[in-house]
Structure 1
């Protein structure tokens, strides 16, 4: 017996018959769902179990990724990142039928990604994206996977990319100097200043809205956070100064403080860092000093969050006070972002 149900993502058809496995699929068009149901009912009447359970041998990974990208990915906060992961997986496995993809194939793919220079945490994102696709195939599309989800048994890469990078005062100065050469510098200095003063993430700063800022009380409410839990952060005098500077610029219709998308800001920060490095090298040449090879070259915008978190502890804030600023839920994660300088600890010891 076939049952067809209208859902948000199309028409879901399920075929049930006593003594045989229940199977289901979802189609964009009702006519396609009805045609598939008739075919499956005919196979069920003939007791052809092999055909009923061989959906994984008829659907390619490219077809699955395309459907997953339409039905599921748009609901993710980081939908853009997911599309990137899935596109890379599509290039590698797009022509494969689902039943032909083995755990060993996925493990070899991850090894190739790692060899190309990707960090372990990044390769784990790729694996998670593929695993989610297979889960979607089994649970939402009713596709029977003979050997189960192949991504389930792949050994996860060891996450050894924890960073202890701190931003020196000299590097911050050269970042600000690098902004001077930007074509549209408005807001760049303030974006960097707020990152150092608030410990907010890049995405949290880019979604910051004037409606949620109270400069008199010196607070900013972050509604969009990585953890999904909104929080209110206190603003230092320097942070308030940066926001007052932003008030002098034309107000955006959507109320956002900063004008960039994430991709635009990433590109802008790379250019700022490169110009800052060039100015640093020019000054070293003029002074006859050998440049420090690591000066600005290995700096990421996320490192400013490390710097800000460490500064909060150095100012004497307690663990709970710092956690209320950073949004960390565990001491273990907060510790990863904290790198207090021994010299400043020595000053406290007396």
Structure 2
């Protein structure tokens, strides 16, 4: 009897040991989890935890870049401004204009309320196709910039839009004056100076534009927009060889405002006149020279680029340049 009890005790101990071992060890048929022991899992975990951090940094940067259009007083009446702005964004322009006009009457020193009124007038002018309404918007934009305590971002947005609308109305000299004022307020903003240079060119004042772009390139020697326009001016002065590097580097920069058929045409013409074959067998940035054509806008016509060179058509002067692939 005693021996039987001893055997039972040993058997019970063995079963317990087996159960304990079974719980501790993974089954032989199941693979060992890699999330703990492999370096790949560590990388995956790290990536998962870092993504939200990167996004949060981008969000912070976006918030920093967002223009600040409200001064201290406008922040107090922000809800009323937002209500009128919401109507404008929903396309209820007439209602939005009435709301902003009421706010301007109530808070005549509020730059944001008056800016909202100008935007509503601007939108309504587009809807009505009315130059008279657009002139009202241009006047209201000016009034915004003349108010006291206007945030810098709001001044910039206001005067840039005013210059654009003046240009649209054909008031190029007025647009030039507005841009000159912007340059005085924001002398470090290269983009505004570039726009001022274009305004001079539109008036036929190449000397004024040249001076502006020389100032830009002195401070920002790699600015593609300034380079391509400066090259264009040099070529108009018959300084063909000097214009080539500016036109070429400006086009190769790919910066906004450089990918224009006129600049490609002038570069090709300059290269042909100087006998420069450096672009032979080298596709130019922004176009594919070879079989077929690439069509670019040019003063309401088309600039067709073929493997034989440039052809201006329809109705334009035929001009073939010796640029081959």
Q: Aligning the two structures, in what range does the TM-score lie when normalised by the shorter sequence?
A: under 0.3
**Greater RCO (Cα-Cα under 8 Å, separation 6 or more):** 1
TM-score by length of 1: 0.23
Task: Give the number of the structure whose alpha-carbon radius of gyration is greater.
Answer: 2
Structure with bigger helix share is 2
